[in-house]
A and B are shown apart, each in its own frame.
Chain A
Amino acid sequence: DIQMTQSPASLSASLGETVTIECRASEDIYNGLAWYQQKPGKSPQLLIYNANSLHTGVPSRFSGSGSGTQYSLKINSLQSEDVASYFCQQYYNYWTFGGGTKLELK
């Protein structure tokens, strides 16, 4: 089974700051990676797929990058509505989620 290790587990940042969340796969997943945002009490929502493709309607301040086993999600110019938990997910071999990153405002 492919394991997904996400870091950090929690993060505190200021409005307008740039934030980066990392995700490491236990083996090469060939860009089969998605990122999700889950606001408190809500369902997850797809942000990024294929490691770097923005899902419909997602603001352009969100971006994804990476290859092989290392991937990252970047949020430029942090907004208050970005306070949420973020999860990575591999779909190269079955489906596995990372443990999540809780993003709060400083």
Chain B
Amino acid sequence: EVQLVESGGVLVQPGRSMKLSCAASGFTFSSFPMAWVRQAPTKGLEWVATISTSGGSTYYRDSVKGRFTISRDNAKSTLYLQMDSLRSEDTATYYCTTGALYFDYWGQGVMVTVSS
């Protein structure tokens, strides 16, 4: 059974940093591109970033480019999202997902609140 378990969410002040993790199990992690998708409270879904199987290729939405870094450790079957210079508009539930095109499987999500 595919399992994706996010961690690291917390309340953080604007301008500070935070790192999210996603522990994967139940599938061959190194064979799957991975992504982060977020959802602001009572809002829709928004793609954030995608990473290739090796980690050699990464893609970001414009609003997080230069501030967020997606990475992965295939030996640990773990996906990461380093978030720097956080803004209030980054407040959302962040989901870890599998897939390069559509998103097959999703974690339970982790809440990130950016507020002073």
Residues on A lying within 8 angstroms of B by beta carbon are 32, 34, 36, 38, 43-46, 49-50, 55, 87, 89, 91, 94-100
Contact = CB atoms under 8 A, between A and B. Distances in A.
Given A43-B95, A43-B108, A43-B109, A94 B47 contact: yes
B102 to A, nearest CB: 4
A44 B95 contact: yes
A99 B45 CA distance: 8
* B interface bracket (residues with beta carbon within 8 Å of A): 10 to 19
Contacts of B105: 46
B50 A95 contact: yes
Nearest to B100: A91
A96 B59 CA distance: 13
B109 A36 contact: no
B27 interface: no
7 contacts: A34-B103, A36-B103, A44-B103, A46-B104, A49-B102, A87-B45, A95-B35
